[in-house]
A and B are shown apart, each in its own frame.
Chain A
Amino acid sequence: MSPTEILLLLMVVPFVAAMISFLALRGGEATRKFAIGCHSLSMVLIMILSLTVAGSVFIDGPIQALDNWLYIDGLSALFLSVLGVVSFLTGMYSIGYIGHEYKHGELSGTKVALYYGLFNLFIATMLLAVSSNNVIMMWVAIEATTICSVFLVGLYGQRSSLEAAWKYIIICSVGLAFGLFGSILTYSNAAAVFADPANAIFWTDIHQNAKALDPTLVHISFIFVLIGFGTKVGLFPMHAWLPDAHSEAPSPVSALLSAGLLNCALLVILRYYIITVKAIGPDFPETLMLVFGFMSVAVSAFFIITQHDIKRKLAYHSVENMGLITLAIALGPIGVIAGLMHVINHSLAKTLMFCGAGNILLKYGTRDITVVKGILKVAPMTGILVAIGALALGGVPPFSMFVSEFLMVTAAISEDMPFFTLALLSLLAIVLGGLAHMVACCVMGDKPDEIEKGELSFMTIAPMVVIVGLIVIMGTFIPNQVLHGIDRAALVLLDSDEPTVINILNLPGIVQPTEMLATKPTLAQK
């Protein structure tokens, strides 16, 4: 199969799995089990196919499909591979988590089938958002992610979950209306100056002819895009939906929202960022990215230390990390590499922690850190994994987030921003303090008498163990294939014609991506 055919298959798989689950809504136990089997197969295929497509793009270059409507370059390939891995991990964890909820009567059979249907549909829309080359379809796909995931957020149908779902759909839809206006302005601007207006809808064509765009409209459209899609990314001050939605959704959905959805919306902003830099220069977009990113980090850091709800703490941590990535992009080539590396590292660590928070919730029936005590004694494996996850999220070595956060600080120093660096380090220290406090409160301490000892199930632990392995590998010896992928993505983001950019890091003991390319046969050669 060619990479283009694999990409098309990737789009179809979750959609088919979703339809099967929806058909099982009125079916019996056997039909539901069949739907869950299809869901598992879908998750495995999504991971394999997305990694195959991404690998092919990293080696052979960008691919297009459906008359240029779909386009995968190095940047979207990186996001696609992260989405594929996160979908697989959260999809597998869902089987354990939702199975437990069904067994204990928290969810009916119909809601279980609905869950798997919406979960797959949600992934399908995110895949479309990442792969889209049509700027209007990008918006349609991101808006569709809201529509598909809102009923996942409100799945339990309780007062708090309905409230969270309402805030989610209204804030994101309004935010995305701004994004739509930004998209339309960009498209209209291109259509007005292009010789062939029919191509003005494609990001690749707008990018190629960015210098011909009207500068005023480029300024206005970037502001609208940053506010609009920034709402979905969770950037301050548009983040209000995020803590509510992340805390009230079932934990696998919280993980997918944080590690999947936020990245997809960020990718759209990065697409417009590339166009804007080419059209009007880097000063204006970089300043906006830096301001929104830093404000997100600063505000969320203080919310992290004051929160008593584990999942809300993690949600604010997502705001902080999306802010970190956003500001890193504005810190030159090292910052771009750091930001892209952080996309991978944050997604993995956050998936681990939301799965851990899910296990805690199932075990204790609460997310309040003043109530949850002695996880290490109640469920030792979960306790160890949660402790690792929290320290990893805090940026402690040898876990992967240390590497990317260290690179961000290096980038800030290399850009000659000493006060900014000090402020950033102080905020990172506050965040680490907040997470360490959570570990001290929840993982340590005596076992409450009323809580039964023992782990939940294999499927609630296994995905977490896999993630711990991945974040240790990414923190100690980053595979060359991953570095090469980051390099390809950074080149797209920097709009550079150089063969590589990652060599500026001068990392010890690795094969430079250019050398790897020279020694490795391409798919075409094979």
Chain B
Amino acid sequence: MTGDILINSLSGLLIITSVMLIGSRKAKSSAMLYSVQSFVLVLTFLAIAKSVDAEQLYHWSITAFITKVIALPALFYYAFSKMSDPKADKPVIHFGWIIPIAGVITMASFMAVESVQLPLVEHLKPALAVSLGHFFLGLLCIVSQRNILKQLFGYCLMENGSSLSLALLANKAPGLVEVGITTDAVFAVLFMVILARQIYFKLNTLDVNQLTSLKG
């Protein structure tokens, strides 16, 4: 039972770090907050691994630590060092609105998973709701940002939500599954950063509002 409380508490911390990440104004701070969020996710992995004695999850934790806590934040930090567009850093949605919207998302997610009958998550429904909620928080991150690089954090939040649900529901799955998903997601982010770089050097902007020549 103590393990379940720890897992649910860490999941709650994931929501808080996500909201902080979405609301962060400075691009480099966002990269660091993403690293913190991923670290909380790794801790959640470890808590689940200990709780259900899932050896594979320990391996996932190592992979996740390398890719999500170190590699991706470093890539973002490097990208933000090379590309800067202060005009694009102003968010579309004020932080004051982000908090109640995140609250509504969390509540709706709790209600959605209420009727799940799987014995595996009987005491972990808050954590399952957090994993579901991360999709809509990711979406919120994308629509609330003007900076195309900061929009990528939305995708990363969604990917963290997927990893959490995988760890909760299939914690004895072969490590190859987690490695496959993480590798693909890392490549996706890498290619998005390369494309953002092309846009920055060609159009001299990171502002999504400037990318409006194609309409209709």
Contact = CB atoms under 8 A, between A and B. Distances in A.
Given A154-B198, A174-B155, A216-B116, A160 B172 contact: no
Contact of A192 (B120, B154, B177, B202): B120
A150 B170 contact: no
A187 B173 contact: yes
Nearest to A168: B195
Contacts of B198: 154, 157, 162
A198 B176 CA distance: 12
A181 B184 CA distance: 14
A166 interface: yes
A305 B168 CA distance: 49
A303 B216 CA distance: 8
B192 interface: yes
Contacts of A405: none
Contact of B188 (A146, A178, A197, A214): A146
A164 B198 CA distance: 13
Interface in B97-119: 112-113, 115-119
B138 A150 contact: no
A461 B213 CA distance: 32
Given A164-B214, A166-B148, A144 B184 contact: yes
Classify chain B: how many residues form its interface, as a range: 35 or more
A177 interface: yes
A173 interface: yes
A159 B202 CA distance: 7
A170 B142 contact: yes
B211 A167 contact: yes
A170 B161 CA distance: 17
B209 to A, nearest CB: 12
Interface string B184-212: 10011001100110110011000000011
B184 A166 contact: no
B180 interface: yes
A199 B205 CA distance: 48
A165 B195 contact: yes
Interface stretch (A135-143, A328-336, A432-440): A135-143
B192 A177 contact: no
Contact of A174 (B154, B162, B166): B154
A174 B169 contact: no
A188 B203 contact: no
Contacts of B79: none
B202 to A, nearest CB: 6
Contact of B166 (A151, A188, A193, A198): A188
Contact of B172 (A163, A180, A184, A191): A191
A216 B166 CA distance: 17
B121 to A, nearest CB: 8
B159 to A, nearest CB: 6
A306 B216 contact: yes
A318 interface: no
| A contacts with B: majority SS | helix
A185 B188 CA distance: 21
B120 A180 contact: no
> Chain A, interface size: which category?
35 or more
B162 A181 contact: yes
A513 B113 CA distance: 46
Given A150-B195, A181-B161, A157 B216 contact: no
Contacts of A247: 214
Contact of B180 (A137, A154, A214, A243): A137
A166 B195 CA distance: 7
A243 B213 CA distance: 13
Nearest to A143: B184
Contact of B162 (A167, A180, A197): A180
B169 to A, nearest CB: 3
A140 B135 contact: no
Contact of A159 (B120, B170, B173, B213): B213
A130 B160 CA distance: 27
B86 interface: no
A243 B199 CA distance: 20
B3 interface: no
Contacts of A160: 213-214
A408 B196 CA distance: 43
Nearest to A244: B214
Contact of A191 (B135, B169, B199): B169
Interface string B121-161: 00000000001100100110010000010011011001101
B35 to A, nearest CB: 20
A188 B170 contact: yes
Interface string A374-409: 000000000000000000000000000000000000
B155 A177 contact: yes
B138 A174 contact: yes
A326 B213 CA distance: 31
Interface string B31-67: 0000000000000000000000000000000000000
Contacts of B16: none
Contacts of A177: 135, 138, 155, 158-159, 162
B118 A201 contact: no
B123 to A, nearest CB: 14
Contacts of A169: 188, 191-192, 195
A214 to B, nearest CB: 5
A184 B162 CA distance: 7
Contact of A197 (B139, B154, B170, B191): B170
A224 B172 CA distance: 23
Contacts of B212: 163
Given A184-B165, A216-B116, A197 B202 contact: no
A389 to B, nearest CB: 22
A384 B94 CA distance: 56
B196 A166 contact: yes
Among B142, B155, B184, the one with the most A-chain Cβ atoms within 10 Å of its Cβ is B184
16 contacts: A136-B181, A143-B184, A147-B188, A163-B199, A164-B214, A165-B195, A169-B192, A177-B155, A178-B135, A180-B158, A181-B165, A189-B169, A192-B169, A214-B116, A220-B132, A224-B135
Interface of B: 112-113, 115-120, 131-132, 135, 138-139, 142, 148, 151-152, 154-155, 158-159, 161-162, 165-166, 168-170, 172-174, 177, 180-181, 184, 187-188, 191-192, 195-196, 198-199, 202-203, 211-214, 216
Given A177-B138, A243-B216, 16 more contacts: A139-B184, A143-B184, A157-B198, A157-B202, A160-B213, A160-B214, A166-B211, A170-B152, A174-B155, A177-B135, A177-B155, A185-B165, A192-B120, A200-B170, A201-B174, A217-B116
Top 6 closest pairs, chain A to chain B, by CB: A188-B169, A177-B158, A188-B170, A191-B170, A163-B211, A244-B214
